[in-house]
Structure 1
């Protein structure tokens, strides 16, 4: 019975999970910090239109999600991560349906209660 010495030297741990380098974590941290500071600055400055400030916050939040998924949770397009990416996409769809349904119900309740 031969023992494979290269089983755990491919950058993946047991179970296929990958681990980032210090550089990867630092880049992720810096991106996350910048994506936190930008909307904070937009709100604290106060001179921007409300719609523009809202767009800045939403775009920064979406980018922040991707930074966390890629740099901290190490989700990528590799075959080892395919199920994790699929599960994350399914979760996003379900949460979107719940949020959209809730907003729709609340809007209809508001419209019908005001008459």
Structure 2
């Protein structure tokens, strides 16, 4: 029984290490792109956006333990619903402020 617990802990630690290394690499890539200046600004924005999106997925998978398995779908649905609410709030605010700026100018 103790060996099963130790093996489970090693596997969990292994997942955390993979997640940490992935997160560090996904943070270093945009920083290197900005510091080295090898890419155009438009390409750099795409690199930053893609690295950020992949990093969100890495955090969900390795640190929050949320994947597409049936037992974690409720958590994923809750996160997606929360994201939808935030997007609606931010988008609505930007729409109102842009409309107000257009009307005043």
Shift of 1:106: 2.2
Partner of 2:23: 32
Shift of 1:79: 2.6
Partner of 2:80: 89
CA distance in structure 2 between the aligned counterparts of 1:62 and 1:55, rounded to whole angstroms: 10
TM-score by length of 2: 0.82
* Backbone CA RMSD of aligned residues: 2.1
User: Of 43, 51, 65, which aligns to 2:56?
Assistant: 65
Partner of 2:94: 103
Per-residue CA deviation, residues 33-85 of structure 1 (Å, 9 max, x unaligned), is 11100111111122422111111111111111110000000001223212111
User: Is 1:44–2:21 an aligned residue pair?
Assistant: no
Shift of 1:110: 2.2
User: Is 1:112–2:92 an aligned residue pair?
Assistant: no
Q: Which runs of 5+ in 1 are unaligned?
A: 1-8, 10-19
SS of 1:48's equivalent in the other structure is: coil
Q: Which runs of 5+ in 2 are unaligned?
A: 6-10
Structure number, greater radius of gyration: 1
Instruction: Give the aligned length.
Output: 98
TM-score by length of 1: 0.75
Partner of 2:8: none
SS of 1:56's equivalent in the other structure is: helix
